[in-house]
Amino acid sequence: MSGRYEMGVLLMICIILLSCLPGSPVHAAQQGNAVFFNPPYFPSACNGNQNDGVLVAGVSDRLWNNGRACGRRYRVRCIRGTNEAPHPCKNGKTVTVKVVDYCQSGCQGIINLSRDAFSAIADPDAGIIRVEFDQ
Ligand SMILES: *[C@@H]1O[C@H](CO)[C@@H](O)[C@H](O)[C@H]1NC(C)=O
């Protein structure tokens, strides 16, 4: 019996227990590409002609969940650009958006931000950016 083996087992147990805690990787930030669209931001798939303000977004299939995503709020942060625009991110900025729309198949991002939301965290000239987001 080596103490090393037992340490290994202990470590495994710790990792398993940790992954069940709130704030664990299960609930951690996700990553994906973000695109944007220009105003007007309504009508929307969730709320029809209701004006939900300017910090809104559409989400694609992975998050949409048959409309259950409606009303959810995501805090979004720009990580990097995905094309030639060298430094699109406004460092350290986050924006919280409310899901009001569906970004249909062919959507080039997991999240389609309003131009207002996108420009709060990145230069719209980039067109598409890599983001990290959580609820
Ligand atoms: C973003 O959302 C708008 C409004 O729903 C839509 O017209 C546009 O096609 C979407 N952008 C992309 C890249 O799918």
- Tens-digit pLDDT profile for residues 44-59: 999 999 999 999 999 9
Give the global pTM.
0.81
Give the residue, out of 60, 108, 112, with the most ligand 1 atoms within 8 A of its beta carbon, to mutate for a pocket test.
112
Shortest-distance atom of ligand 1 to CA 35:
13
**98: Cβ contacts below 8 Å, ≥ 6 apart:** 52, 53, 55, 56, 57, 71, 72, 73
Domain that holds residue 92: 29-134
User: CATH number for the domain including 113?
Assistant: 2.40.40.10
Note the pLDDT tens digit of each residue in 16-43. 777 656 555 555 799 999 999 999 999 9
SS3 assignment, position 8 = helix
Measure the CA–CA gap between 115 and 122, rounded to whole angstroms.
10
Would you say residue 19 lies in a domain? no
Residue 8 lies in a domain: no
Residue among 86, 78, 82 nearest 121 (CA): 78
Nearest residue (CA) to ligand 1, atom 3: 37
Which ligand 1 atom is at minimum distance from the Cα of 41? 4
Q: Could you tell me which residues come within 8 angstroms of residue 28 by beta carbon, excluding any fewer than 6 positions away?
A: 134
Q: What is the CA radius of gyration of the chain?
A: 19
Structurally, the chain folds into a number of domains equal to 1
